[in-house]
Amino acid sequence: MRDEAIESGDQSATATKWVYSFGGDGTEGNASLRNLLGGKGANLAEMARIGLPVPPGFTVSTEVCNWFYANDRQYPADLTSQVDEALQRLEGSLGKRFGDPSDPLLLSVRSGARASMPGMMDTVLNLGLNDETVEGLAAITGNKRFAYDSYRRFIQMYCDVVLGVDNGLFEDELETVKRDSGHRLDTDLTAEDWAEVLRRYKALVADALDEPFPQDPRAQLWGAMGAVFGSWMNQRAITYRRLHGLPADWGTAVNVQAMVFGNRGDDCATGVAFTRDPATGENVFYGEYLVNAQGEDVVAGTRTPQHITLEAREAAGADLPSMEEVMPDLYRELADIRLTLENHYAEMQDLEFTVESGTLYILQTRTGKRTATAALKIAVDMANEGLISQEEAVRRVDPAALDQLLHPMLDPDAEREVLAKGLPASPGAVSGKIVMSADEAERLTELGERVILVRDETSPEDIHGMHAAVGILTSRGGMTSHAAVVARGMGRACVAGAGELALNVKEGTLTARGRTLNTGDVITLDGATGDVMVGAVPTIEPELSGDFAVLMGWADRFRKLGIRTNAETPHDAKVAVSFGAEGIGLCRTEHMFFDADRIVNVRRMILAETPDESRAALAELLPLQRKDFADLFRIMAGKPVTIRLLDPPLHEFLPKTDQDMADVAEAAGVGVASVRARVIQLAESNPMLGHRGCRLGITHPEIYETQARAIFEAAVEVGGADQDPVTAEIMIPLAFSKAELDLLKKVIASAAEEVEAQSGVTLNYHVGTMVELPRAALRAGELAETAEFFSFGTNDLTQTTFGISRDDSASFLLEYERLGVIEGDPFVTIDQSGVGELVQIAMERGRAARPDLNLGICGEHGGDPASIRFCHEIGLDYVSCSPYRVPIARLAAAQAALSLDEGRLGSA
């Protein structure tokens, strides 16, 4: 109804309320009207309601903003009368009149959107001053200097924001006066100097605009309001909204508020405070203030701000007195307000205050930003204090912030020289020497060096070097490139796809932004931001507090999704279990084939001329694989272990250079020519869509047969009478049809029967498939007749659904994001409307065929909070992610469950 009225412009039937007063004689809004009044306006109203000393004023609602843009930048007809009315009420509250030459009411005019958009939109202060009222202000405050300075600030600000006069011109005039008067600082200027500044400013305005600076306070007010509404669509604001995903139709409100001054003398002050320590989360009052100052002086750094509490001053060993000492009564009033606000909002607040002539005013309160550590501590503390529920505590911590708690981060105070920027592929901040080969990385690490492996891209052959290095840097590849996936799995810091870097591996040089580094030079990676820095930048080690375990425990109580991990080494599996993984959702067996003591036999198998030769080579690998699986089964102690049979194309295991081919030929006891021939024969144009996954299992059944046998023998070995029985889930990759699964399930079953016959043990295993091709999703009903579980391989499913190779996507996906073609990287957060629909189709059809079908996701999306929420909403059984993301996944899953519950309650 309201919208219709706005659109038709017909206000006769239902008069729309556009303006909401707060403070003084009556408050019309409250905190729940954030959408209508913006964050600032809603909180001002709320504070006024609970009796806090808020300078009175009124808020022009966000609906005016929308009306304004829907109607060619005009205002609703009845806005004028509503503003007038609010202004009168304000005048009444304060006993002052707007434009009164003897004691003028002065106003601030500020924007205030639903979400905070710091610095994006415009503000005008001291509005209401003109040639007459400035004299009244001077008289009433007895401070000409203050009055003239206030007026010239207003002219400068108003011209900048409303009239579009170049601010630099004013600065020039000010400099001239300073030079002429021989003063260096603003504070040195006398009242007469400011009067001169004012004369020059007014001349400047008259010159630039061909008319004098507006003297009518009401015209000033409407000009300022128009400028604030106009700033909603300035380029800066548009860009900010795009980057933060804020819709344009939220609009901004305009807050018109009586001015209070912290700079009228030594009984004045201004400050900012947090109700708890935003760095540590400690339950102490934390803040800074300055006597006789304005808000911007606290943050500008020209004067050193002083502590608010004595305790903080003493802890810091600071000389300047605290507010608690200087203004003890006002401090006590502020400390009470701190408690009132926190109790009222049940959230840590960031507040601004001003003391004008001995009276305390609260200008703003909002939820305080905080570090990850603080977020965790505050949430747990507040729940323990009974201020919030455990559910709310779980909701309060951003899962992504946990990354900071699990990895070292750069010392925020350290100097840094950024050499290049890439994708933040795996978090952690590390420094080390540049190496350009995996072998070198391993060699130097054994000598005790910390190294960073720098490559155009990595391949499975580099695993040992990636493991040895403290960080990995690549010039190519995206968030799910080999380097990124493996680094996340190992918990190594990684910056991927830093396209600015030009590598010359032969020369051992690395060039970017006109600067060339050599192998052995030290660089620093910040895997959380994608920055690559020259030299060693100091880092801060993370510390896991007890709060972490407490919050995780609460999260586990609320979440519905199971959380598994993608792990294939004992180390990864142990890390994941320590982080709370409930099973392995993806054990990639190819990693078991690349070890130095195995690759020879893998290559013998590939180079074999007959199935028998191939089997002989595989037989050599069997005991090694059996041990790998046995280790994992022991660590997982009965938790399910999903093992994906060999997936990559065979050519990945073959050498690429002539020298390597010669080495391989010698090791495998065959001619170089036959190695080369096999390399050429196996080469593929698009290996991602090539002879891999179960296609290998079908053309080389002996490979899967051997893997299955190794799994089953390990299960027999570990699953003894006094131990937890092994739960093996054998996963067939890249299937697109039931027929593939049928063929391979037979191969697996026959290996199981043989092992059962030999051992006398009855095996507990399931055979399922990785749903990672669109056709598999569409034919899921048939697949589920054979498969006992599905694990969605959303990396490959994203690649095939979009037709995008993650290895090649960097060249255009960034541009796509910049242009807004895609909202985000679909390899980071699952594309719900494309890939997600296929996942849902597969779930529905799969469950229709097999109601107890177990459904999980093992792509990189399994560790992404937004994707986890989607997985929860559609009803998957579990997500699986890299070990270091397990806590993130637990928290995100809990939040998804809580938020869905909330949604249900809301709609009920």
C-alpha separations of 224 from 217, 220, 285, 670, 845 in Å: 10, 6, 36, 84, 60
| Binding-residue total with a second copy (CB under 8 A) | 50
Member of 556, 754, 807, 817 binding a second copy (CB under 8 A): 807
Stretch that binds a second copy, among 88-96, 130-138, 181-189, 835-843 (CB under 8 A): 835-843
For a second copy, give the closer residue by CB, 739 or 749: 739
Rounded to whole angstroms, how far apart are CA atoms 53 and 37?
19
165 Cβ partners below 8 Å, 6+ apart?
A: 159, 204, 205, 208, 209
For a second copy, give the closer residue by CB, 547 or 740: 740
Which of 358, 66, 262, 53 is closest to 44 using CA atoms? 53
Member of 288, 568, 796, 825 binding a second copy (CB under 8 A): 796
The CB-of-466 to a second copy minimum distance in angstroms stands at: 18
Task: State yes or no: residue 821 binds a second copy (CB under 8 A).
Answer: yes
The CB-of-838 to a second copy minimum distance in angstroms stands at: 7
C-alpha separations of 620 from 234, 252, 597, 604, 740 in Å: 68, 70, 11, 10, 27
Task: State yes or no: residue 906 binds a second copy (CB under 8 A).
Answer: no
Rounded to whole angstroms, how far apart are CA atoms 99 and 777?
71
Member of 153, 834, 847, 866 binding a second copy (CB under 8 A): 834
Paired tokens of 137: 């202000």
The CB-of-654 to a second copy minimum distance in angstroms stands at: 14
The CB-of-703 to a second copy minimum distance in angstroms stands at: 13
Stretch that binds a second copy, among 17-25, 110-118, 323-331, 690-698 (CB under 8 A): 690-698
Task: State yes or no: residue 285 binds a second copy (CB under 8 A).
Answer: no
Member of 536, 550, 802, 866 binding a second copy (CB under 8 A): 802
Q: Phi, psi (5° rounding) for residue 524?
A: -125, 135
Cβ-contact 736, 742 below 8 angstroms: no
Member of 492, 603, 779, 861 binding a second copy (CB under 8 A): 779
Rounded to whole angstroms, how far apart are CA atoms 238 and 253?
16
Q: Give DSSP secondary structure letters for 580-592.
A: T--SEEEEEGGGG
Rounded to whole angstroms, how far apart are CA atoms 708 and 747?
8
Active-site annotation holder among 482, 651, 700, 872: 482
The CB-of-689 to a second copy minimum distance in angstroms stands at: 4
Rounded to whole angstroms, how far apart are CA atoms 883 and 382?
29
For a second copy, give the closer residue by CB, 442 or 740: 740
Catalytic-residue membership of 307? no
Task: State yes or no: residue 461 binds a second copy (CB under 8 A).
Answer: no
Stretch that binds a second copy, among 120-128, 566-574, 805-813, 895-903 (CB under 8 A): 805-813
Cβ-contact 733, 648 below 8 angstroms: no
For a second copy, give the closer residue by CB, 582 or 740: 740
Active-site annotation holder among 159, 587, 858, 881: 858
Which of 73, 82, 369 is closest to 226 using CA atoms? 73
Cβ-contact 491, 466 below 8 angstroms: no
Task: State yes or no: residue 833 binds a second copy (CB under 8 A).
Answer: yes
Stretch that binds a second copy, among 46-54, 153-161, 225-233, 769-777 (CB under 8 A): 769-777
Tell me, what DSSP letter sits at residue 162?
I
Judged by CB under 8 A, the chain residues 694 through 713 that form the site for a second copy are 695, 698-699
Q: Show the CA angle centred on residue 279, arms to residues 275 and 282, nearest 5°.
A: 55
The CB-of-395 to a second copy minimum distance in angstroms stands at: 32
Task: State yes or no: residue 849 binds a second copy (CB under 8 A).
Answer: no
The CB-of-341 to a second copy minimum distance in angstroms stands at: 43
The CB-of-747 to a second copy minimum distance in angstroms stands at: 12
Judged by CB under 8 A, the chain residues 714 through 743 that form the site for a second copy are 734, 736-737, 739-740, 743
Task: State yes or no: residue 835 binds a second copy (CB under 8 A).
Answer: yes
Q: Give DSSP secondary structure letters for 73-142.
A: T---TTHHHHHHHHHHHHHHHHT-EET-SSSEE-EEEEEEESS--TTTS-EEEEET--TTHHHHHHHHHT
Which of 582, 571, 644, 591 is closest to 795 using CA atoms? 644
Member of 625, 801, 867, 895 binding a second copy (CB under 8 A): 801
Cβ-contact 251, 63 below 8 angstroms: yes
For a second copy, give the closer residue by CB, 680 or 721: 680
Cβ-contact 334, 53 below 8 angstroms: no
Burial classification of residue 43, based on how many CB atoms lie within 10 Å of its CB (0-12 exposed, 13-18 middle, 19 or more buried): buried
For a second copy, give the closer residue by CB, 13 or 680: 680
Q: What is the largest CA-CA distance in the chain?
A: 106
For a second copy, give the closer residue by CB, 186 or 808: 808
The sheet carrying 451-455 orders its strands as 418-421, 531-534, 522-526, 429-435, 451-455, 471-474, 493-496, 423-426
Stretch that binds a second copy, among 373-381, 543-551, 762-770, 793-801 (CB under 8 A): 793-801
Rounded to whole angstroms, how far apart are CA atoms 168 and 179?
16
Q: Which residue has the tokens 């901004």?
A: 252
For a second copy, give the closer residue by CB, 447 or 819: 819
For a second copy, give the closer residue by CB, 713 or 796: 796
For a second copy, give the closer residue by CB, 472 or 891: 472
Task: State yes or no: residue 815 binds a second copy (CB under 8 A).
Answer: yes
Member of 556, 816, 866, 900 binding a second copy (CB under 8 A): 816
The CB-of-782 to a second copy minimum distance in angstroms stands at: 9
Per the DSSP assignment, residues forming a β-bridge with 166 are: none
Q: Phi, psi (5° rounding) for residue 855?
A: -125, 125
For a second copy, give the closer residue by CB, 378 or 743: 743
375 Cβ partners below 8 Å, 6+ apart?
A: 281, 396, 397, 398, 401
Task: State yes or no: residue 799 binds a second copy (CB under 8 A).
Answer: yes
For a second copy, give the closer residue by CB, 85 or 507: 507
Stretch that binds a second copy, among 33-41, 216-224, 773-781, 783-791 (CB under 8 A): 773-781
The CB-of-177 to a second copy minimum distance in angstroms stands at: 47
C-alpha separations of 482 from 463, 477, 487, 547, 599 in Å: 10, 8, 8, 34, 19
Task: State yes or no: residue 874 binds a second copy (CB under 8 A).
Answer: no
Task: State yes or no: residue 831 binds a second copy (CB under 8 A).
Answer: yes
Task: State yes or no: residue 532 binds a second copy (CB under 8 A).
Answer: no
What character string, x for contact with a second copy (CB under 8 A) and - otherwise, covers 648-687?
-----------------------------x----x-xxxx
Task: State yes or no: residue 837 binds a second copy (CB under 8 A).
Answer: yes
Task: State yes or no: residue 235 binds a second copy (CB under 8 A).
Answer: no
Cβ-contact 404, 376 below 8 angstroms: no
Catalytic-residue membership of 571? no
Paired tokens of 370: 């905080």
The CB-of-247 to a second copy minimum distance in angstroms stands at: 16
The CB-of-216 to a second copy minimum distance in angstroms stands at: 45
Rounded to whole angstroms, how far apart are CA atoms 9 and 65?
14
The CB-of-777 to a second copy minimum distance in angstroms stands at: 9
What residues act catalytically?
Answer: 482, 858
Residues binding a second copy (CB under 8 A) = 502, 677, 682, 684-691, 695, 698-699, 734, 736-737, 739-740, 743, 772-775, 778-779, 796, 799-805, 807-808, 811-812, 815-816, 819-822, 831, 833-835, 837-838
